[in-house]
Amino acid sequence: MLNRVLILSASAGAGHVRAADALHKAFTQTGVAREVMHVDALDYTNKVFRHLYSKAYLDMVNRMPEAMGWLYDYMDRPWKNERRRLAIDKLNTRPLVELLKEFNPDIAVCTHFLPSEIISWLKAKKKLSCPQAVVVTDFDVHAFWLCHHYERYFVAMEETRVHLEKLGIESSKIAVTGIPIDPVFEIAKDKREMRLKHGLAADKITILVSAGGFGVGRVEDLCGCLAQMQHQAQAVVLCGRNDALKKKLDALASTQFSKSRVSFRNLGFTTEVDEWMSASDILLGKPGGLTTSEALSKGLAFVIVNPIPGQEERNSDHLLEEGVAIRCNNLPVLAYKVDRLLDDHTRFASMQSNARRLGRPGAAGEIARNLLKLYQAS
């Protein structure tokens, strides 16, 4: 059994933190570790640096998504500029270095590239000796995820494993497990029961609209276009922690959308996403790594709208290639595209079947068990 496991995330978007939370739960539930601690690496940096990594990220996603995409592609140069980036990170993460030395974990698990880069540097300088595991939280791998000193990489799919091999990561140190999601997604839940439990119609097509964990994007416009559908349906809109968005959507549902064939249910932050996904047929919105993995585990077809240029664009490519998704690039035709999908029963069923094939609901537990074996073999 492991004595101490340190899981490190970074709150630049919600996905990295959710993956770390899932791993924390899996390590605890499987009983492979006595003490498990999850920390947000940005809490151990200075205020300016923390701002650039979190708030500035969200501002760019909302206001300058094209710039975000350009920057993502420009920086995707394997093994380039790593010294410059490391120098900046070292200057701003001294409290994180102290935490690592003080906690002295048996193994460190990173769901973001910032702490993995710091740990790799500490291992190179012989200031830290524990094994490091890097958990990539998107379906594609960006150059930022690369580091020199590691014992295991965990990735979402076989193509990502091949990509890492081509970039010089040792094949024996790469495991294809899927992206870690809360172990609760492993529990099968009846669609009809979940609909009735949450006050939804039992016999209507149910569309789950995902605005992301922070409730960003043109969600009001999206819902307005969805309201023009010809099919009878019910939409559940996950607004996250964006209370202002929820209030706007509630007002629209009682006015502009009141005569629509689509009924709207707007939710704030919820810890029951697995049940809402179990109740749904379609996920509509942004294909973030964690949301995508959760939806795949529940066999949902995807309607991709407004993916963030960069990582979500690449996630979209994989979903389209695997026959799980359709994409709407122009909101005015959103209702038409969803109606057309629902008219094609064979295609719709195939998309849901493909989603179930790709789903890896047990990824977090698999990673925990893999790392226990790694520790026992060392």
Q: How far apart are CA 193 and CA 117, in angstroms?
A: 45
**Long-range contacts: 216-221, Cβ < 8 Å, 24+?**
216/58, 216/61, 216/62, 216/242, 217/62, 217/285, 217/286, 217/306, 218/306, 218/331, 219/245, 219/249, 220/245, 220/248, 220/249, 220/252, 221/331
Flag whether pLDDT at 233 surpasses 90: yes
Q: Quick one: 141 and 242 in the same domain? A: no
Q: Which residues form the domain of 323?
A: 187-358
Kindly state whether residues 196 and 162 are assigned to the same domain. no
CA dist., res. 266 & res. 249, Å (int): 7
Residue 368 near residue 32 (C-beta atoms within 8 A): yes
17 and 64, same domain (yes or no): yes
Q: What is the pLDDT of residue 1?
A: 87
Are 160 and 191 in the same domain?
no
Which class for 63: exposed (0-12), middle (13-18), buried (19 or more C-beta within 10 A)?
exposed
98-120 residue pLDDT tens: 999 999 999 999 999 999 999 99
**212 shares a domain with 87:** no
Please count the other Cβ atoms lying within 10 Å of the Cβ belonging to residue 244.
9
Question: Does residue 178 surpass a pLDDT of 50?
Answer: yes
Q: How do residues 320-330 score in pLDDT, each as one tens digit?
A: 999 999 999 99
Are the CB atoms for 355 and 16 separated by under 8 Å?
Answer: no
Token duo for residue 79: 């093994």
Taking residue 348's Cβ as centre, other Cβ atoms within 10 Å add up to: 17
Q: What are the structure tokens assigned to 339, written together?
A: 């109606």
Tell me what the pLDDT averaged over the chain comes to.
92
What is the widest separation between alpha-carbon atoms in the chain?
A: 67
Overall average pLDDT of the 175-185 stretch: 98
Q: What letter represents residue 26's amino acid? A: A
By C-alpha distance, which of 137, 107, 141 is closest to 123?
A: 107
Q: What is the pLDDT of residues 290-321, one digit of tens each?
A: 999 999 999 999 999 988 888 899 999 999 99
The answer on 191 and 166 residing in a single domain is: no
The strand pairing partners of 325, in sequence order, are 302
Query: Are residue 192 and residue 173 in the same domain, yes or no?
Result: no
Question: Are 343 and 195 contained in the same domain?
Answer: yes
Cα–Cα distances (Å) from 304 to 196, 283, 312, 338, in that order, read 27, 8, 10, 11
Q: For residue range 38-74, list pLDDT tens digits in order.
A: 999 999 998 888 877 776 677 777 777 788 788 888 8
Distance CA 79, CA 58 (A): 26
34 lies in the same domain as 132: yes
Q: Are 266 and 250 in contact (CB under 8 A)?
A: yes
C-alpha radius of gyration, the chain, whole number = 21
Among residues of the chain, what percentage have pLDDT more than 70?
Answer: 97
Residue 215 has pLDDT above 60, yes or no: no
Pair 311, 220 in one domain: yes
Q: State yes or no: pLDDT of 176 exceeds 80.
A: yes
CATH of the domain at 19: 3.40.50.2000
Residues 126 and 194 in one domain: no
Number of domains in the chain: 2
243 vs 237: which has the higher pLDDT: 237
Distance CA 299, CA 322 (A): 13
- Residues facing 40 on adjacent strands: 9
244-251 long-range CB contacts below 8 Å, 24 or more apart? Answer: 245/211, 245/215, 245/219, 245/220, 246/215, 248/220, 249/219, 249/220, 249/223
> Which residue, among 161, 160, 74, 90, has the nearest Cα to 125 in the 3D structure?
90
Q: Average pLDDT of 169-195?
A: 97
Per-position DSSP letters for 309-322, written without gaps between them? TTHHHHHHHHHHHT
pLDDT for the residue 217: 53
CA dist., res. 99 & res. 113, Å (int): 17
Q: How far apart are CA 7 and CA 16, in angstroms?
A: 11
**Residue 230 neighbours by CB under 8 Å, 6+ apart:** 261, 335, 339
Residues 14 and 64 both lie in one domain = yes
How far apart (Å, rounded) are the C-alpha atoms in residues 319 and 143? 21
